Structure 1
Amino acid sequence: MASKQHHKKKRIAVVPIVMSKTRLKVYLITSRAERKWIIPTGKLEKKLNNRQVAALEAFEEAGILGKLDKHFREQVLLQSPSGKHKRKTTVFLLYVKRILKCWPEIHDRKRKLVSLKKYLKSVSNRKLKRKLAKNICA
């Protein structure tokens, strides 16, 4: 029973956006177990609010520092990296200001930049895809 409850826990995710010359790009990281390309995602923290968790996950998992969009916050069901569960996830946008050479999970994950267009094609949740396209491309 405990394992069924585990996947139902809410998650916080962040879409790290960076302007590369004249194009918008998104930083992706690899998941630990499946090595799939994902956005930084973590569990709720008792002493931190959701926005603080989003910024912390970007730092810990991807070595990225930036500014969270004040207005973008979307609650969606997202597939876990294993594909076994859908989790309630609150997604934030982070505008990248600094990319660190060393970060806490550097040995556990890889990171890469992909075009916004390519990232949006990979987003399976239609609600999230529409909101990202509307807010980032506007």
Structure 2
Amino acid sequence: MGASLDIVSRGPGIRTLPKRTHVQYAALCYRVRDGKMQILLITSRGRRRWTLPKGWPMQGRSPARAAAREAWEEAGVKGLVNELCVGGYTYQKRSSNRPHLALVYPLEVMELDKKFPERRERKQRWVSPKRAAEMVEHPELAKLLLGFRPYSLKH
């Protein structure tokens, strides 16, 4: 299934994750319109909550490339993914009693495909970072969305 982590660094300000934490890779899909950044949220398939596209590690793909692939499968987006992780958030899946950690990679959206594998299973919405933070359920993700700044907004 997915990668799992036994322990994360115990440095100052870093909290320890429980043993056997499942790791997924998420894409923070963004674009700039009229000088303002917008973030793409999608609904989860099960409980229809607003979240980022994310999925399990993929053999032969870096974490960022796996996140980009999930963004296409779940939202039909293509763009420039950054290999630098901008943060992460923990969450619990109903189908598992193990904790999950989503590592987040920014993806600047360049194209939107009309046909993609999960187009009939999810809704999507472009919103401001502030609105995105209000819509997601996970406080760590909300904080990450509010603080996200692309490395350059040269549009």
TMscore range, shorter length: 0.7 to 0.9
Offset at residue 35 of structure 1 (A):
1.0
Contact 1:27–1:39, Cα closer than 8 Å, also in 2: yes
Q: How many residues are matched?
A: 131
The percentage of aligned residue pairs carrying the same residue is: 26
What is aligned with 1:11?
24
**1:39 and 2:52 matched:** yes
TM-score of the pair, normalised by structure 1: 0.78
Aligned-residue Cα RMSD (Å) equals 2.9
In structure 2, runs of 5+ residues without a counterpart are 5-19
- Output the CA distance in 2 between the equivalents of 1:70 and 1:21: 26
| 1:19-30 matches, cutoff 5 A | 19-30=32-43
In structure 1, runs of 5+ residues without a counterpart are none
The structure whose Rg is larger is: 2
Offset at residue 20 of structure 1 (A):
1.8
Ranked by relative contact order (alpha carbons within 8 Å, sequence separation 6 or more), the top structure is: 1
Contact 2:130–2:146, Cα closer than 8 Å, also in 1: no
TM-score of the pair, normalised by structure 2: 0.70
In terms of fraction of residues, the more helix-rich structure is 1
Contact 1:31–1:81, Cα closer than 8 Å, also in 2: no
- Output the CA distance in 1 between the equivalents of 2:128 and 2:94: 21
Offset at residue 137 of structure 1 (A):
8.7
| 1:35-114 matches, cutoff 5 A | 35-80=48-93, 86-114=99-127
Offset at residue 30 of structure 1 (A):
1.0
